[in-house]
Structure 1
Amino acid sequence: MSETYRAIRLERFADTFRAATEIIEVPLTAPGPGEIRVRNRWCGINGIFDTQIARNAVDYVHVALPSFMGVEAIGVVDAVGPGVTGFKVGDAAATVNFRGGYREANVGPESLFARVPEASREWLALASTGVSALLALEHIGAVKDGETVAISAAAGGLGHLLVQLAKHRGCHVVAICGGLEKAAFVASLGADRVIDYKAEDVAAVLAAEYPARLDVAIDTVSGSIFDAFLGQMARHGRLVVGGAAQDLEGKPEIVTGPRIVHAIYYKGVSVRGFMNGLLTGHWPAARERVFALYRAGHIAVTFDKTRFTGLTGIYDGVERLLSGQSMGKVVVKIAEEGDTRWR
């Protein structure tokens, strides 16, 4: 009997990730020429992206049914094919390519994987979300030392790394988050001003304390947070759009008001889209920089306090992230370090 492993696969389009997918058995194949086989230990959760894929609502990704799911995973190489030069059995390997995340094993070209020091959740977060944070802030946001930087969802997996990267550049950081616990967490990272949107009016605070002073703003929420950032951008400010979580449910809000041109023209402001999947050529250099910052103690990774295990835990992880209650990076432990069994 041939060996198998388990993976989550999109079987139908539906409103939720749970309703659209199933856990299936997949034959465990040997790697071909130029390929490696990795046994995954951890995966990272991207709940909004997963949900939009389940709804067939991601314009830039063509999804043919059935399709494997998940983006981020890290594990250990257990077999290499002919001609492989970058990996050997026992190496830790991470992937941040769609369809490679929510599975117990992965076989593919070595070019789809990155060597990492260890198959731990820390290095997974750095190789995925850490790279995203660095590129959003420096490549798209073009941040300069000492600037004023505003960050929405600052207590999340991406946000808490953005805060630390901006502080490392000597920036004044204005962090937006919801709730006392999250506000205290973000303040502990060094944010200079934390705005708890559940207790304060973000637009009013920015207008009073940072009038036309935001050099860089990174928004993953949209809606009123985007509007508040846009209204207080400095001359030549850069507003980076890295997501639109508020628009996940239902249709995007229809806004009746002055066109965006009136907010950007006279101050030379730019609104820039950040899509990490379009920046693959920048990933290797960004990964090395993030790794170096981590080794030097300039950034740390915080994980959500709720623990999830196994493929079934991925469903709970997605729902935890979508609940808005998570703090830090949400990950799932797929396999124990000493577990060599394929399911």
Structure 2
Amino acid sequence: MGGTMKQVVLAAYARGNPKPSDFRIEEAPVPAAGDGEILLRTLYIAVDPLIRFSLDETLLSGASRMELGAVMAGPSVCQVVASNHPGYAPGDFVEGRTPWAEYSAVAPDQPDYRGPPRKLDPSLAPVSAALGALGGPGQTAYEGVVNAARLKAGETIVISAAAGAVGSMAGQIAKALGARAVGIAGGAAKCRALLDLGFDAVADYKATGFADQLKAALPEGADVYFENVGGDVTMAVLPLLKRGARMPVCGFIAYYGMGMEGPGPDRLPGFYRHIMAKGLEIKGFAGIFAGQAGLNAIAGWMKEGRIRFPEAVVEGIEAAPQAFSSVFTGHDHVGKLLVRVAPEA
């Protein structure tokens, strides 16, 4: 194919929240597909928060660590341009973990920890949904609500970061199961969007009356707290949990930029008091365990019109550093935030 392309490389390890200046855009030759490989044209990049775990100078947790000067990588939707592999043909749409680059050459028989690229059926939904409702965020929401939390009809679930890709799906899955869903989000616009998605009540953590809003939304307490945030939000939720409440821990984005210890005061003693006094059940989980069963259930609810998949799209690979950084500093988007690198052919 020849020619050059743009790619995003790591210029500096993140100190706290990532900044656009931690990355740079470089030109590189377009790769060729070798034996057993496929050449992919990147269509969408997902700026997932968990990528942050690979950007610490010292590996603290997560599956990998990026080296300075390396090309960033994460979930993407691509289209096959050329194929030297019998399982893929030019024109196929796939989802997988690829570099943040306009093109990439991938060997499906030598996959990374996420496995070989997953072929997509564009007749089911827009291919971008493979990075949201019909991808990792959907699987994560399903695993957290259905398996980790064991949510039942008639129960109440409260969800932090509810306007995000996982949180917005978790609330809709809860409604599909017959539960009451309460969302926590930042800003009036996001809260209105959650009500439009079918949440029963919302609380704005940026509002001065957040604690009162949360109490009003949970007059009888909550059976489940779907944890995405940590920090002050979690401390406000804990007193409102019922005895024996379940707390699936999906994330703790308030602490992603910290090491093993954060700044004071130390609120761990109060956290333990709530665990003991209320008999809380706390469970960490990984969304990939939901597998195809979770995706099948979500696809069925989508066909029934019970689940929608809001997306926010920014244009061009040059926008990836700013988009990724905004995940940690706040933005006005609802649902899955994507970078569109190229249009579908």
Q: What TM-score do the two structures reach when normalised by structure 2?
A: 0.83
1:53–1:36 Cα change, 3 Å: same
Q: Distance in 2 between matches of 1:17 and 1:51?
A: 11
Structure 1 position 175 matched with structure 2 position 186:
no
**1:178–1:196 CA contact under 8 A, matched in 2:** yes
Report the counterpart of residue 230 of structure 1 in structure 2: 238
The number of residues matched between the two structures is 326
- Alignment of 1:113 onto 2:117: yes
Residues 27-70 of structure 1, C-alpha deviation per residue, up to 9 Å, x if partnerless? Answer: 4121433x433211111122x44445333365223325243323
CA apart distance, 1:334: 0.4
Q: Give 1:154-165 correspondences, 5 Å limit.
A: 154-165=162-173
Give how far 1:234 is off: 2.2
Is contact 1:5–1:28 with CA below 8 Å preserved after alignment?
Answer: no
C-alpha RMSD over aligned residues: 2.7
1:336 aligned counterpart, secondary structure: coil
Q: Output the CA distance in 2 between the equivalents of 1:31 and 1:139.
A: 41
Residue 74 of structure 2 is aligned to residue 71 of structure 1? yes
**What corresponds to 2:151 in structure 1?**
143
Q: Secondary structure, in 3 states, of the residue corresponding to 1:68?
A: coil
Structure 2 contact 149–247 (Cα < 8 Å) conserved = yes
- Which residue of structure 1 lines up, in the alignment, with residue 47 of structure 2? 45
Which amino acid counterpart does residue 309 of structure 1 have in structure 2?
Answer: E
Identical counterparts, % of pairs: 23
Amino acid at match of 1:36: I
Q: Which moved more, 1:225-234 or 1:177-186?
A: 225-234
**Which consecutive residues of structure 1, in runs of 5 or more, have no partner in the other structure?**
339-343
The answer to whether the 8 Å contact 2:140/2:290 transfers is no
Give the letter aligned to residue 161 of structure 1.
M
What is the rounded CA distance, in whole Å, between the counterparts of 2:207 and 2:228 in structure 1?
20
CA distance in 2, matches of 1:189, 1:44: 22
Gaps of 5+ in 2: 109-114
Q: Which residue identity lines up with residue 318 of structure 1 in the other structure?
A: F
- Partner residue in 2 for 1:334: 341
Query: By how many angstroms is 1:160 displaced?
Result: 1.6
Post-superposition offset of 1:21:
2.6
Match of 1:8 in 2: 8
Contact 2:162–2:168 (8 Å) recurs in 1: yes
2:31 alignment partner in structure 1: 28
Q: Which residue in 1 is equivalent to 2:192?
A: 184
Q: Secondary structure at the match of 1:308?
A: strand
Letter in 2 for 1:117: D
Cα distance in 2 for partners of 1:181, 1:31 equals: 48
The residue identity in structure 1 corresponding to 2:284 is: G
Counterpart position of 1:324? 330
Paired letter, 2:281: S
CA–CA distance in structure 2, aligned partners of residues 255 and 205 of structure 1: 26
Q: 1:285 to 1:256 in 2, by over 3 A?
A: closer
- Distance in 2 separating the partners of 1:14 and 1:267: 37
Contact 2:184 2:204 in 1 (8 A): yes
Q: Taking structure 1 as reference, are residues 116 and 254 closer, same or farther at Cα in structure 2, changes over 3 Å only?
A: farther
Deviation at 1:211, TM superposition (A): 6.2
Between 126-135 and 242-251, the greater mean CA deviation after superposition: 242-251
Please give the residue correspondences for 1:73-92 in structure 2 after superposition, counting only pairs within 5 Å: 73-82=76-85, 84-85=86-87, 87-92=88-93
Q: Secondary structure at the match of 1:132?
A: helix
Deviations 1:79-130 (A, max 9, x none): 3334x33x332221111x3xx2522223324342112222632333221322
* CA–CA separation in structure 1 for the residues paired with 2:311 and 2:264: 32
TM-score normalized with structure 1 length: 0.83
Q: Deviations over 1:128-158 (max 9, x none)?
A: 3222221222222222222110011212222
Name the SS for the 1:186 alignment partner: helix
**Distance in 2 separating the partners of 1:27 and 1:101:** 12
Cα shift readout 1:247-278 (whole Å, capped 9, x = no counterpart) = 345635432464544322354321122344xx
Q: Find out whether 1:255 has 2:266 as its counterpart.
A: yes
Alpha-carbon spacing, 1:101–1:285, altered in 2? closer, same or farther (3 Å): farther
In the superposition, relative to structure 1, how do residues 58 and 77 fare at CA in structure 2: closer, same or farther (>3 Å)?
Answer: farther
Alignment partner, residue 311 of structure 1: 317
Distance 1:108 1:18, change over 3 A: same
The AA in structure 2 aligned to 1:314 is A
Structure 1 counterpart of 2:333, one-letter code: M
The 1:256/1:135 distance shift into structure 2, 3 A limit, reads closer
AA aligned to 2:105 is: V
Cα distance 1:101–1:283, how it changes in 2: closer, same or farther (>3 A)? farther
Q: Is the 8 A contact 2:39 2:105 kept in 1?
A: yes
**How far does residue 227 in structure 1 lie from its aligned partner after superposition?**
1.8
Residues 155 and 177 of structure 1 are in contact (CA less than 8 Å); yes or no, is this contact kept in structure 2? Answer: yes
Partner Cα separation in structure 1 for residue 337 and residue 217 of structure 2: 33
Displacement of 1:161 in angstroms is 1.6
Residues 192 and 73 (structure 1 numbering): CA distance in 2 closer, same or farther, change over 3 Å?
same
